[in-house]
Amino acid sequence: MWKKNELAEDSPPQPAARTSPPVAHSTPSKPVSTTPGPAAILGPSITVKGDITGDEDLLIEGTVEGAIQLRQHNVTVGRNGRVVADIHGKRICIDGEVKGDLLGDEILIRKSGRVEGNAKAPRVTLENGCNFRGSIDMKPAPTSTSTNAPGPATRTKRGRVATA
Protein backbone atom coordinates (compact mmCIF):
# COMPACT_ATOMS: atom_id res chain seq x y z
CA MET A 1 0.00 0.00 0.00
CA TRP A 2 2.32 2.80 1.12
CA LYS A 3 5.93 2.69 0.31
CA LYS A 4 8.17 4.13 3.01
CA ASN A 5 10.83 5.29 0.53
CA GLU A 6 8.38 7.31 -1.58
CA LEU A 7 6.80 8.89 1.50
CA ALA A 8 10.18 9.98 2.86
CA GLU A 9 11.23 11.56 -0.47
CA ASP A 10 7.98 13.53 -1.02
CA SER A 11 7.68 15.15 2.40
CA PRO A 12 10.04 17.85 3.66
CA PRO A 13 12.24 16.91 6.63
CA GLN A 14 10.61 17.50 10.00
CA PRO A 15 12.66 19.19 12.71
CA ALA A 16 13.18 17.16 15.85
CA ALA A 17 10.67 17.88 18.54
CA ARG A 18 12.14 19.94 21.36
CA THR A 19 11.29 19.15 24.89
CA SER A 20 11.81 21.82 27.46
CA PRO A 21 12.19 21.08 31.13
CA PRO A 22 9.19 21.84 33.30
CA VAL A 23 9.20 25.31 34.78
CA ALA A 24 8.94 25.42 38.53
CA HIS A 25 6.93 28.32 39.85
CA SER A 26 8.02 28.95 43.40
CA THR A 27 9.18 31.76 45.60
CA PRO A 28 12.93 32.32 45.71
CA SER A 29 14.60 30.76 48.74
CA LYS A 30 17.52 31.93 50.82
CA PRO A 31 20.92 30.73 49.54
CA VAL A 32 22.37 27.86 51.53
CA SER A 33 25.98 28.13 52.69
CA THR A 34 26.73 24.59 51.54
CA THR A 35 26.25 25.48 47.88
CA PRO A 36 29.34 24.94 45.74
CA GLY A 37 30.99 28.14 44.64
CA PRO A 38 30.44 31.65 45.85
CA ALA A 39 27.04 33.30 45.79
CA ALA A 40 28.33 36.90 45.72
CA ILE A 41 31.45 38.25 44.02
CA LEU A 42 33.29 41.53 44.56
CA GLY A 43 35.19 41.92 41.30
CA PRO A 44 38.76 43.21 40.92
CA SER A 45 37.62 46.76 40.13
CA ILE A 46 35.35 47.01 43.21
CA THR A 47 36.48 48.82 46.39
CA VAL A 48 34.39 48.67 49.57
CA LYS A 49 35.07 50.92 52.54
CA GLY A 50 32.85 49.86 55.43
CA ASP A 51 31.33 46.75 56.95
CA ILE A 52 30.05 43.78 54.96
CA THR A 53 27.28 41.57 56.35
CA GLY A 54 24.96 39.14 54.63
CA ASP A 55 23.38 35.72 54.30
CA GLU A 56 25.40 34.21 51.48
CA ASP A 57 28.93 33.12 50.61
CA LEU A 58 31.36 35.78 49.38
CA LEU A 59 34.32 35.83 46.97
CA ILE A 60 36.50 38.95 47.19
CA GLU A 61 38.65 39.78 44.17
CA GLY A 62 38.68 43.53 44.86
CA THR A 63 39.59 45.66 47.87
CA VAL A 64 37.78 45.77 51.22
CA GLU A 65 38.52 48.06 54.16
CA GLY A 66 36.32 47.62 57.24
CA ALA A 67 34.86 44.45 58.76
CA ILE A 68 33.41 41.31 57.20
CA GLN A 69 30.68 39.56 59.25
CA LEU A 70 29.46 36.39 57.51
CA ARG A 71 29.60 33.99 60.48
CA GLN A 72 27.43 31.25 58.92
CA HIS A 73 28.89 31.47 55.42
CA ASN A 74 32.10 30.98 53.46
CA VAL A 75 34.45 33.89 52.76
CA THR A 76 37.11 33.56 50.07
CA VAL A 77 39.75 36.19 49.34
CA GLY A 78 40.84 35.51 45.76
CA ARG A 79 44.32 36.00 44.30
CA ASN A 80 43.52 39.63 43.39
CA GLY A 81 41.75 40.31 46.71
CA ARG A 82 43.15 42.85 49.16
CA VAL A 83 41.46 43.06 52.57
CA VAL A 84 42.21 45.32 55.54
CA ALA A 85 39.58 43.99 57.93
CA ASP A 86 38.74 41.35 60.50
CA ILE A 87 36.95 38.44 58.81
CA HIS A 88 34.29 36.39 60.64
CA GLY A 89 33.08 33.43 58.58
CA LYS A 90 32.26 29.76 58.80
CA ARG A 91 35.00 28.73 56.37
CA ILE A 92 37.65 31.28 55.40
CA CYS A 93 39.97 30.69 52.43
CA ILE A 94 42.79 33.14 51.65
CA ASP A 95 44.47 33.29 48.23
CA GLY A 96 45.21 37.04 48.30
CA GLU A 97 46.28 39.54 50.99
CA VAL A 98 44.66 40.11 54.39
CA LYS A 99 45.63 42.50 57.18
CA GLY A 100 43.34 41.63 60.07
CA ASP A 101 42.19 38.77 62.27
CA LEU A 102 40.47 35.64 60.93
CA LEU A 103 37.77 33.97 63.07
CA GLY A 104 35.80 30.92 61.92
CA ASP A 105 35.26 27.17 62.03
CA GLU A 106 37.89 26.47 59.39
CA ILE A 107 40.69 28.65 58.02
CA LEU A 108 42.77 27.81 54.94
CA ILE A 109 45.66 30.00 53.82
CA ARG A 110 46.77 28.88 50.37
CA LYS A 111 50.24 29.03 48.86
CA SER A 112 49.54 32.41 47.25
CA GLY A 113 47.94 33.80 50.44
CA ARG A 114 49.48 36.46 52.67
CA VAL A 115 48.02 37.16 56.11
CA GLU A 116 49.15 39.66 58.73
CA GLY A 117 46.95 39.01 61.76
CA ASN A 118 45.74 36.30 64.09
CA ALA A 119 43.83 33.15 63.12
CA LYS A 120 41.32 31.58 65.50
CA ALA A 121 39.51 28.37 64.47
CA PRO A 122 39.41 24.70 65.48
CA ARG A 123 40.85 23.81 62.04
CA VAL A 124 43.65 25.92 60.56
CA THR A 125 45.61 24.92 57.46
CA LEU A 126 48.66 26.75 56.12
CA GLU A 127 49.77 25.55 52.71
CA ASN A 128 53.48 25.22 52.05
CA GLY A 129 54.75 28.55 50.72
CA CYS A 130 52.06 30.83 52.21
CA ASN A 131 53.05 33.95 54.12
CA PHE A 132 51.56 34.19 57.64
CA ARG A 133 52.53 36.61 60.38
CA GLY A 134 50.52 36.38 63.59
CA SER A 135 49.31 33.84 66.12
CA ILE A 136 47.09 30.79 65.76
CA ASP A 137 44.50 29.73 68.34
CA MET A 138 42.98 26.31 67.60
CA LYS A 139 40.86 25.83 70.71
CA PRO A 140 37.66 23.99 69.85
CA ALA A 141 34.40 25.83 70.24
CA PRO A 142 32.98 25.36 73.75
CA THR A 143 30.15 22.86 74.06
CA SER A 144 27.34 23.35 76.57
CA THR A 145 26.92 19.65 77.43
CA SER A 146 29.96 17.48 77.37
CA THR A 147 29.71 13.95 78.77
CA ASN A 148 33.39 12.98 78.58
CA ALA A 149 34.84 16.07 80.24
CA PRO A 150 35.64 15.72 83.93
CA GLY A 151 34.00 18.16 86.29
CA PRO A 152 35.81 20.41 88.75
CA ALA A 153 38.05 18.64 91.27
CA THR A 154 37.14 18.89 94.97
CA ARG A 155 38.75 17.57 98.14
CA THR A 156 36.83 15.16 100.34
CA LYS A 157 37.00 15.14 104.16
CA ARG A 158 39.73 12.51 104.05
CA GLY A 159 41.92 14.58 101.69
CA ARG A 160 41.16 12.61 98.53
CA VAL A 161 40.51 14.35 95.26
CA ALA A 162 37.13 13.65 93.69
CA THR A 163 35.72 14.89 90.40
CA ALA A 164 32.10 15.71 89.80
Residue 157 pLDDT > 90, yes or no?
no
Provide, rounded to the nearest whole percent, the portion of the chain with pLDDT above 70: 62
What's the rounded Cα separation, in Å, for the pair 119 and 19? 52
Residue 106 pLDDT > 70, yes or no?
yes
Residue 137 pLDDT > 50, yes or no?
yes
Please give the pLDDT value at position 155.
Answer: 54
Please give the pLDDT value at position 13.
Answer: 53
Helix (H, G, I), strand (E, B) or coil at 153: strand
Residue 34 pLDDT > 80, yes or no?
no
What's the rounded Cα separation, in Å, for the pair 38 and 63? 17
Please give the pLDDT value at position 83.
Answer: 97
Mean pLDDT (whole number) for 38-54: 90
Phi, psi of 146 (to 5 degrees): -125, 120
In the predicted model, what is the mean pLDDT of the chain? 78
Residue 31 pLDDT > 50, yes or no?
no
pLDDT interval class at 141 (50, 70, 90): low
Q: Which amino acid is at 126?
A: L
In terms of pTM, does the model score above 0.85? no
